Each structure stands twice: as structure tokens, then as C-alpha cells.
Amino acid sequence: MFLKHEAENARKMLPQGPLARLLMRLGQIQTTRGKANTPIKLALVTSRNSPAHERVIRTLREWGVSLDAAFFLGGVGKAAVLKTWGAHIFFDDQEAHLAPAALDVPCALVPYRTDSILRRPKPPEGAT
């Protein structure tokens, strides 16, 4: 369901979440200082995978954000990637991703709400 939705909406920009302006500003700093001269390195570490990657990439380009690395993990845990890459801070909207990463990387919960059926708790078995 999610992958089909993302494939159908690949050319539609994602809505700005609560930290979008911060991300865009960091992108501006990178552009102003030049990629080689900025202390800011940006990476995307996401549970998305193909075909859901296209919408993210198009949105970041539209926002003027250039990534130094992108990891489309398709549900694989994020903590090992963050540790290996040497992340200085990790933002995520799900505590389940933050808890393991917090052992090695400072983390912050993004206060993002959605009415997506994918985020709703499953009803108990046998319930209608």
C-alpha cells in the first residue's frame, strides 16, 4: 500500500515537516560555503526503499538540499549505519529508531503527526 502510494506520487513533493526549514537552511549554508568548505555534512538514513526513494530525492532537490550520503534501508536498522557513518546527531519521528541509535549518537525526536493508516495501531485480532 505505502510503496504503491509513493510510486503514484513520486513527482508530488512531500509536505514540509517541523524541521524542513532547518534542513533547507543547512542546505543554504552548504551552498554558500561550498561543499568542500562547509563543516556541515548531511545524510539521509531512512527506512524507505525503492520506489519510495524517488519522492524524497525530488523533494530534497526542490528544497535545495544536497546530501553527502543517502541510505535507503528498506526497514533494516538505522543504528549501525549512523555509528559507522559517524553521525553527530540523528533526527527521527519514531522512538523505535531512536532508542538503538541513542547508544552511539545523540538523537532527537521529530514531533510529527500523521493520520496515515500505516501509523495507526492494528485492531485486536477478531475486532471489526
pLDDT for res 114: 60
Determine the structural domain holding residue 56 and report its residue range.
2-109
Q: Give CA–CA dist 12/25, Å, rounded.
A: 22
Predicted TM-score (pTM) of the model is 0.73
Q: Give CA–CA dist 74/65, Å, rounded.
A: 22
pLDDT for res 39: 84
Q: Is residue 126 part of a domain?
A: no
pLDDT for res 121: 61
Q: Is residue 124 part of a domain?
A: no
Sequence-distant contacts of 112-115: CB under 8 A, at least 24 apart: 112/17, 112/18
**Inter-CA distances, 101 with 47, 56, 92, 118, 128, Å:** 14, 22, 10, 23, 36
**Inter-CA distances, 15 with 34, 39, 79, Å:** 27, 28, 26
Please report, in tens digits, the pLDDT of each residue of the chain (128 residues total).
766 777 677 778 777 888 899 999 998 888 888 878 888 888 989 887 777 778 888 889 889 898 889 998 887 899 999 999 999 999 988 888 999 999 999 999 988 766 655 555 666 777 65
Handedness of CA 86, 89, 93, 99 (dihedral sign): positive
Q: Is residue 115 part of a domain?
A: no
Q: Is residue 127 part of a domain?
A: no
Q: What are the φ/ψ torsions at residue 58 (nearest 5 degrees)?
A: -60, -40
- The tally of domains found in the chain comes to 1
3-state secondary structure of 38: coil
